[in-house]
Chains A and B, each alone.
Chain A
Amino acid sequence: MQFFNLINGLAGRNDLVDMALRLFYVSAVPLLATALAALLFLRPRREDRPSPWRILAAAAVAIVFMEIVTAGIGVAGSKVLNAEIVAPRPFLTHWVNELVVEPNDNAFPCAEVMLTASLAVLMWAAEPTAGICGLCYMLVFGFTRIYCGSNFPQDIVAGAVLGIGFGILSLAMCRVSLRWNRRDLSTFVWQPRSEAIWSVAGLAAIVCITAIVLARSPRFADKLHQLIHEAKATADPLPAPPKPAPQPTLAGAIGPEANMHEGGDLAGKYELQPAKVQDGHVPEAEQALRAEMANLNAPHKVISAEVGEIDTGEGDYRSDLVRFEIGGSGPGERKRVMETAEAIVKRTFAFDSKAQHVDVIGVVVNGKKVSGQRLVFTPGIIPVFTASIERSRLEASGADAWTNAPGADAGSWLRARSLLYIDPMVLPGESQAAAPAVPALAATPSASGTEAAPPAPSSAASAANAASASNRTSVNAVTPVATRKS
């Protein structure tokens, strides 16, 4: 990696060099192939030279080998290791000076360098001096690929080794003798029988080298280890013993006082802790909020209440999250849900003076459909709507003033103050209207309002209960919150 940084760090300093190497990058392989073609066809035929057509056939075989290896690694990655990309390009995971855009695919082994190496070996067969030049050219090309930021050094090395191996193998398959030098010409000749031995030995060597280089590639080794580990885990019939629960070592470690100036040392300093404690949650406040919600005579069951603190650097900012359950389903359900949500929001703001933000989430328990949300919820609990309300927006002003009117129902109250969404995919018992989520809200409560049966409040003194029972009192319910805030 440091070697990569060393070479790639040179890029972007001189425009002329960059431009030259970029052009070389895209034309290196055909240039070398042209040189090989010139070597084969522009020189007069001689008895001691191999037939150009055979070398051409060997080149075709080498290209087929290259395709098989690159495609094979892709298929092996997706089928065996269950990863689309086994060896990602540098720009996926690192800071890179990228001079040439490459697709996001396997970088290992570098197919272009493999081709260049094979061509260099074929050039060697045609003319050993040219072969040496070709190998040097391959090194320069490998440097260029690292300089332009599309391959790691190990990709280049693996590509070069494989390419040389494939070059030799394809020459053997096409019955072209590879002259190590001019003196060896008489002694080193491919014999029909030794040819087969050489081919098998070469193939075995290539497989061994590939395995070694792949095993040394960190990403691939990780995946392999993971695979073996998983195979072992599935093979074991006994269930693993339960792990002891991790003890919280430092409650609220990441607050304003956290040692952020030490940066990366945080990971080593604090052990992994339960999410509740260290994500800025306030357990005491949560318990109190839960108790408060239990007092709320809402028609639906509150299933969780979380209080999270966000450190914005300027005073307290609490974000409360309440999830409640929707019992059944039916045409009047949305109205009841809205009223409950409104009651919960008002009660929370009235109860928690530090709360600046309330998120209410209505969920279906054991619902049938699950939407594609990535947010993790308890299994079997599906959010059907969310409202996110800031304290400053509690009293709608300006154009939204109509929503403070006594006639406004809970749906419009919430909608005017919040970002209120219903996921149409998971709403229980709703016909597939396929309408946009937000407009559907305004229509439904008023349309089916008469069918709703809000439960009678047990205590008229409770602002939240009043709000849930009657829309008329919902405006009054805001007032205590506002006074408490000021």
Chain B
Amino acid sequence: MSDLMIETPAAARKSLLTRMAAFIAVTSVVWGGYYWWRPPAPMLGLHHVEHLPPSTKEVCMTFDDAPHPLTTPLLLAALKGSHIHGSFMCVGNNLMLYPELARRMVEDGHHLADHSQYHHNLTTVTPAEYDHEVETCFKVISADHGQPTSLFRPPGGGLNRSEMQYLYDHHVTLAWWSSDVGDYAIPDAWAIASGVIATLRPGDILLLHDELASTPKAVPLIAKEAFKRGYTFVPMPESAPLR
């Protein structure tokens, strides 16, 4: 191999130095650039819930976009009749508009969580507004209704990297779901129920919506079949720190 080298020892040393410098420069640019492009901290460290532990036969019903004056009473009646405690992902502005509904939710033993203040998709607003969108709703829930929570579900499922970074920095738990039957397309009640039942498995977190006319009618159907199969319904689990 050495016979292919056409450099003098001094030149070889110089060339080695150049190559070392190039290697170090390229490596640092690669690592820095990659972690700027894909920040690892929120990817690894953001608290998130997609489903409950599948070892217990627990299922969680979550209702997004609550409260709504037309449908939340129906939903509360259906949940009460089925003896279910669920999680309501509340829009902060709606909580402020309809405090009686929120009071009834808490009275019935349901769990409130954050679904942003104005239900804007956070991928469409600037990161400067995250504080207003997320923190205001946390404050409304804990101050006005005495239910501190750490769970946040992004409106419309909108999640990008700057939002992940914000949630990670503020120790917010990302409340995701594992079963999405698509009730926002307003199917009939039986279609919602059969869709949920068809894929129901231990630890499922069901994504349902308030403000839809057919969801309250589907809740008892889901509950009846789930109880028959030995499932229990729990609110979404919290993880510290609460706010």
B190 contacts A95, C-beta separation under 8 Å: no
In the assembled complex, the CB of A395 is this many whole angstroms from the nearest CB of chain B, namely 18
Which positions in B face A, CB cutoff 8 Å?
1, 4-5, 12, 15-16, 19-20, 22-23, 26-27, 30-31, 34-35, 38, 40, 42-44, 46, 48, 50-51, 65, 68-74, 77-78, 80-82, 96-101, 104, 154, 157-161, 163-164, 174, 176, 178-180, 186, 188-191, 193-195, 197-201, 204, 211-214, 216-217, 220-221, 223-225, 228
B178 — which chain A residues lie within 8 A by C-beta? Answer: 94-96
Let me know if A101 and B48 touch, CB within 8 A.
yes
Q: When the two chains form their complex, are residues B194 and A267 in contact, meaning their CB atoms are under 8 A apart?
A: yes
Which residues on the A side are within 8 Å of B46 (C-beta)?
101
- Select which of B160, B194, B211, B214 is within 8 A of A374 by beta carbon: B211
CA distance A376 to B174 in the complex (A): 30
A386 & B4 in contact (Cβ 8 Å cutoff): no
Q: Is the beta-carbon distance between B19 and A100 smaller than 8 angstroms?
A: no
> Known contacts A29-B34, A267-B194, A308-B217: does B81 contact A313 (CB below 8 Å)?
yes
Taking CB atoms, residues of chain B closer than 8 Å to A419 are 69, 72-73, 98, 100-101, 104
Q: Which of B27, B74, B104 contacts A357 (CB 8 A)?
A: B74
Given A266-B190, A278-B188, A421-B98, A46 and B4 contact (CB-CB distance below 8 Å): yes
B51, B160, B176, B220: which contacts A310 (Cβ < 8 A)? Answer: B220
22 of the cross-chain contacts (CB-CB < 8 Å) are A41-B26, A46-B1, A52-B22, A56-B26, A96-B178, A97-B50, A100-B44, A103-B160, A104-B159, A112-B38, A254-B221, A258-B190, A260-B224, A264-B198, A267-B195, A278-B189, A279-B188, A308-B217, A311-B221, A312-B78, A357-B74, A374-B211
Stretch at the interface among A30-38, A207-215, A237-245: A30-38
Residue of B nearest to A356 (CB): B77
Task: Look across to chain A and name the residue whose beta carbon is closest to the beta carbon of B211.
Answer: A374
Contact B216 A310 (CB under 8 A): yes
* A388 on the B face (CB < 8 A): yes
CA gap between A44 and B65 in the complex, in Å: 64
Q: Counting chain A CB atoms within 10 Å of each CB, which of B27, B35, B158 scores highest?
A: B27
* Distance A202 CA – B136 CA, assembled complex (angstroms): 53
Q: Which of B51, B81, B161, B194 has the most CB atoms of chain A within a 10 A radius of its CB?
A: B194
List residues of chain B with CB within 8 A of the CB of A275: 188
Shortest beta-carbon contacts, A-B, top 6: A312-B81, A264-B198, A266-B194, A41-B23, A388-B73, A26-B40
The interface bits of chain A over 48-73 (1 if a CB of B lies within 8 angstroms of the residue's CB, else 0) are: 00001000100000000000000000
Q: Which of A41, A44, A375 contacts B211 (CB 8 A)?
A: A375
Q: Which residue of A lies closest to B67 (CB)?
A: A419
User: Is the beta-carbon distance between A264 and B194 smaller than 8 angstroms?
Assistant: yes
Q: Which one, B50, B82, B164, B211, contacts A313 given CB within 8 A?
A: B82
Q: Are A30 and B70 in contact (CB under 8 A)?
A: no
Q: How far is the CB of A363 from chain B (nearest CB, A)?
A: 12
**Bound Cα distance A111, B172 (Å):** 28
**Closest Cβ–Cβ distance, residue A308 to chain B (whole Å):** 7
The distance in angstroms between the C-alpha atoms of A14 and B19, with both chains bound, is: 42
